[in-house]
Each structure stands twice: as C-alpha cells, then as structure tokens.
C-alpha cells in the first residue's frame, strides 16, 4: 500500500509541502466514493476556494500544475452539465488510508 512513497517522490514532496492538498484529500476521503465541488470542499476543509482550485488543478506560481492533485492522479475531475466535480481516485484512496494509519490526516 505505501509503495507510492518509494516510487513517486513527486507525490510525497507535493503533500509534505501543502497543508491545503492534505485537507482536500482528507475531505474527499471522508466522503469517498462520493464526489464534491470546489466550494463545498473549501467550506468543509476550511480553505479559501481559490486555494482549493490551486491544490486540485494548479494555479500560477503558487500551485504548480505538475504537483496538483489531479495531475498526480490522486483526484479525478468529473464534468456534469458544465460543472466540475472532484472525486478521489483509487491511488488517492490508498494514499489517504496510509496517511490515516500514520496519523497524517
């Protein structure tokens, strides 16, 4: 289960550097397998909506797109009637389970 730590240092580094990304993952893990939209994630995680979008998709210099949760494959985007919803992927779920046992979430 924790093989991602040894095989993908980008994921490990990205999560260690961002409290926002961890809070987003934590919320999506709590509601898994349901999906959520950015404002709901922001409200539940206690994070500004612009920061949630940055953590999910990347935004400017502050949130590198390559280190975004979507780009790393931890969260998927589901488009419904022109709205974007976000859901934890299987990899994201495994990482959250590991982080939960290690008391990181």
Question: Which class in CATH covers the domain with range 3-101?
Answer: mainly alpha
User: pLDDT (tens digit, 9 = 90+) per residue, 78-104?
Assistant: 999 999 999 999 999 998 988 887 766
- Domain ranges for the chain, please list them: 3-101
* C-alpha span between 42 and 54 (Å, rounded): 11
**What does the buried/exposed string (b/e) look like for 12-44 if buried means 16 or more CB atoms within 10 Å of the residue's CB?**
eebbeebebbbbbbbbbbeeeeebbebebbbeb
At residue 67, does pLDDT exceed 90?
no
Quote the pLDDT of residue 1: 47
Instruction: Please say whether the dihedral angle defined by the alpha carbons of residues 90, 93, 97 and 103, taken in this order, is positive or negative.
Output: positive
Quote the pLDDT of residue 92: 93
Quote the pLDDT of residue 31: 97
**pTM listed for this prediction:** 0.86
């Amino acid at each position: 289960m924790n093989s991602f730590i040894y095989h993908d240092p980008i994921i490990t580094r990205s999560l260690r550097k961002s409290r926002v990304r961890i809070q987003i993952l934590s919320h999506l893990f709590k509601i898994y397998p349901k999906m959520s939209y950015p404002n709901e994630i922001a409200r539940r995680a206690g994070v500004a909506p612009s920061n949630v979008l940055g953590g999910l998709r990347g935004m400017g210099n502050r949130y590198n797109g390559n280190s975004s949760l979507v780009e790393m494959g931890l969260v998927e985007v589901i488009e419904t009637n022109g709205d974007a919803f976000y859901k934890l992927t299987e990899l994201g779920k495994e990482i959250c389970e590991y982080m939960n046992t290690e008391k990181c979430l």
